[in-house]
Amino acid sequence: MRPCLIVLGILLIAFALRTARRAWVRKLGAIAFLGASYTLFYFLIGAWWGGVLGVVLWFFLPWFELLTRVKRMKLPMDNRLRYRSAPNPAFFPNAQETVETMEREHFEHTSDCAWEWSGMKQHYRLFFHADSKTVATLCLCEQSDVVFSFVSITSITQEGVLLRTTNYPFAPTLKYPKKFRWNHVPCTRHCFRQILNSHHDHLRKCGLVSDQLLAIDPDHLEEMIEEEMQEMIEHNLDHGIIEFAGDGYFSYSTKGLFYLWGQFLKDMVRLC
């Protein structure tokens, strides 16, 4: 009974730490789960390497989804945005507050559109600020029973370099071309003003002023998103992350599955 009680005690401590508000305390909870795994396998096998095996298994868990769901996915090469009325923002964390702040910052709402990617619905609310030549996007995502929202703020230089600040909570599932310069802020940063200030800092660090930015036509924001996705698909085809699956679809290659595994591990460490 003593080994069972020890493992149970560590698990209770881990659950307690994971309910804390402070991020560093929750991370201690994740470490406690690893400790419980180490202890369980140590008692089962009776050797220290058994405990190490129990910890390592956590990092191979993403392969279950990669081999059972992701490997079978077929995604359209030419996925078009379609107009859809906005879902109720009350169901998405911080969405209503973000829209109100955008409007107070003089961003004008231009359109609503959406598309679906392998069971995930992504709804875009597009806003534009003419004076700063800046596009702000509120994306509302639905996947199974999970819903979340995030903000992206985008500027484009005269040379076509795209600078974007976002609080997207996960690592990207496709590689971005070099002309994309990303500025990721913590997903816990929900305030639009803070994200906007981070974007302005990003532009200053790149040595850019308003005169060097491209004047974007707000009536063609949807086409801009579609062209960006097409460029990403071509870039990942060239790098072997994805491959043609026939009939206008693509799927992840073996190299792409290992790339996604690395992205899963980044999320596990960052979001634990």
DSSP letter string over 58-69? Answer: HHHTHHHHHHHT
Same domain for 29 and 100? no
Same domain for 97 and 190? yes
Same domain for 38 and 107? no
Same domain for 26 and 122? no
Average pLDDT for 227-255: 92
Q: What is the share, in percent, of the chain residues with pLDDT greater than 90?
A: 38
Same domain for 9 and 98? no
Tell me if residue 145 falls in helix, strand or coil: coil
Average pLDDT for 8-22: 83
Q: Which domain holds residue 33?
A: 2-60
Q: What is the mean pLDDT of the chain?
A: 88
Same domain for 13 and 91? no
User: Does position 247 have pLDDT exceeding 90, yes or no?
Assistant: no
pTM of the model: 0.84
Across the strands, what pairs with 124? 113, 139
Q: Please give the pLDDT value at position 106.
A: 92
Residue pLDDT, tens place only, 109-119 = 999 998 887 67
Confidence at 164, pLDDT banded by 50, 70, 90: very high
What ranges in 151-220 are assigned the alpha helix state H?
192-205
Same domain for 161 and 242? yes
Average pLDDT for 56-67: 91
Same domain for 53 and 99? no
Confidence at 207, pLDDT banded by 50, 70, 90: confident
In a domain, 26, yes or no: yes
**Domain count along the chain:** 2
Q: Compute the radius of gyration of the chain from its Cα atoms.
A: 22
Long-range interactions of 6-9: CB distance < 8 A, separation 24+? 6/39, 6/43, 7/36, 7/39, 7/40, 7/43
